[in-house]
């Protein structure tokens, strides 16, 4: 029991209210079993060994997340997803709704854009949930099919800026649209690790945010605040996302134009 408990970020789980606060090891053990909805350690091992086998996630030197912290975070996503009523998964409808979701990038307040995002996605069979990553989990987003008819996108707001949040969302959306529904994808856009599936998801997110017909204009435009603001208005996304893409493409350094990004904080 002790060694199993050490596997999890118990302090953060208690601070976030995911398990009740107690110093009793036995009580913590019981609370963790309840959290994962299993009766005993054998059931947990069976369930999570199966889950680990279908995670499309490779460790890189930069992405040093701890598996126990990832398990806890993903489970929180499942718990939150259960509270969201969804239509059955409809990939065609989800693709159609991406343009509507893209329009939300210009909304500055999470209290406004998150409920709208959740409502649109739920109509296509996708539960979008937000959960702060606990210590040891460096993921910015993940996707998983909870049932054959209900998908989950969990986002951590890890970098607390609009460009990272929206890129993460469209990256995760790409996994649902392009890749095997039996796989679980766990992503950190700064891991430095990209395989073919991650490259495809990155490319999809990039093209959704900056459509191909605008890419040349973005790469060749004057690099000043006024031009960036004008360009972002023209293509219908936030200026922070344009800056984020300019930085990703190494057209501007990562310390330039960051004032154009919208910053968030946990309440």
pLDDT in tens, 188-206: 755 555 578 888 999 999 9
Structure confidence by residue, pLDDT tens digits, 93-136? 999 999 999 999 999 999 999 999 999 999 999 999 999 999 99
Both 88 and 165 in one domain: the answer is yes
Q: For residue 225, is it within any domain?
A: no
Q: For residue 228, is it within any domain?
A: no
The region of weakest confidence among 48-52, 72-76, 169-173 is 48-52
Percentage with pLDDT > 90 across the chain: 79
Both 126 and 165 in one domain: the answer is yes
pLDDT of residue 10: 96
**C-alpha–C-alpha distance, residues 181 and 235, integer Å:** 32
**C-alpha–C-alpha distance, residues 138 and 132, integer Å:** 10
Q: For residue 76, is it within any domain?
A: yes
Asked whether residue 58 carries a pLDDT value surpassing 60, the answer given is no
Q: Which domain holds residue 201?
A: 60-209
- The interaxial angle of helices 196-209 and 91-103, nearest 10 deg, is 50
pLDDT of residue 50: 81
Both 87 and 116 in one domain: the answer is yes
Both 76 and 165 in one domain: the answer is yes
Both 45 and 93 in one domain: the answer is no
Both 98 and 169 in one domain: the answer is yes
Residue at a domain's end among 209, 229, 251: 209
Asked whether residue 72 carries a pLDDT value surpassing 90, the answer given is yes
Both 14 and 75 in one domain: the answer is no
Q: For residue 263, is it within any domain?
A: no
Both 87 and 106 in one domain: the answer is yes
**C-alpha–C-alpha distance, residues 134 and 139, integer Å:** 10
Both 39 and 64 in one domain: the answer is no
Total domains present in the chain: 2
Q: For residue 108, is it within any domain?
A: yes
Q: For residue 222, is it within any domain?
A: no
At 165, give phi and psi (nearest 5°).
-60, -50
Residue at a domain's end among 53, 70, 90: 53
Give the Å distances, CA to CA, from 186 to 52, 58, 189: 11, 9, 10
The arithmetic mean of pLDDT across residues 41-59, rounded, is 81
């Amino acid at each position: 029991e002790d060694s199993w408990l050490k596997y999890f970020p118990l302090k953060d789980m208690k601070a976030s209210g995911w398990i009740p606060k107690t110093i009793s090891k036995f009580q913590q053990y019981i609370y963790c079993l309840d959290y994962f909805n299993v009766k005993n350690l054998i059931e947990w091992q069976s369930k999570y060994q199966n889950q680990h086998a279908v995670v499309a996630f490779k460790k890189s030197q930069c992405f040093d997340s701890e598996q126990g912290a990832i398990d806890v975070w993903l489970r929180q996503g499942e718990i939150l997803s259960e509270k969201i009523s969804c239509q059955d998964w409809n990939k065609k409808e989800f693709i159609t709704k991406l343009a509507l979701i893209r329009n939300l990038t210009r909304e500055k307040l999470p209290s406004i854009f998150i409920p709208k995002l959740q409502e649109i996605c739920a109509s296509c069979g996708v539960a979008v949930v937000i959960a702060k990553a606990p210590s040891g989990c460096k993921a910015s987003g993940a996707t998983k099919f909870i049932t054959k008819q209900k998908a989950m996108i969990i986002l951590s707001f890890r970098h607390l800026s609009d460009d990272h949040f929206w890129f993460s969302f469209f990256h995760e959306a790409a996994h649902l649209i392009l890749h095997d529904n039996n796989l679980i994808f766990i992503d950190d856009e700064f891991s430095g690790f990209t395989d073919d599936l991650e490259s495809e998801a990155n490319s999809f997110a990039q093209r959704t945010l900056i459509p191909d017909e605008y890419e040349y204009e973005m790469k060749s435009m004057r690099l000043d605040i006024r031009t960036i603001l004008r360009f972002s208005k023209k293509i219908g996304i936030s200026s922070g996302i344009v800056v984020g893409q300019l930085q990703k493409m190494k057209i501007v350094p990562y310390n330039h134009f960051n004032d154009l990004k919208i910053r968030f904080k946990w309440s």
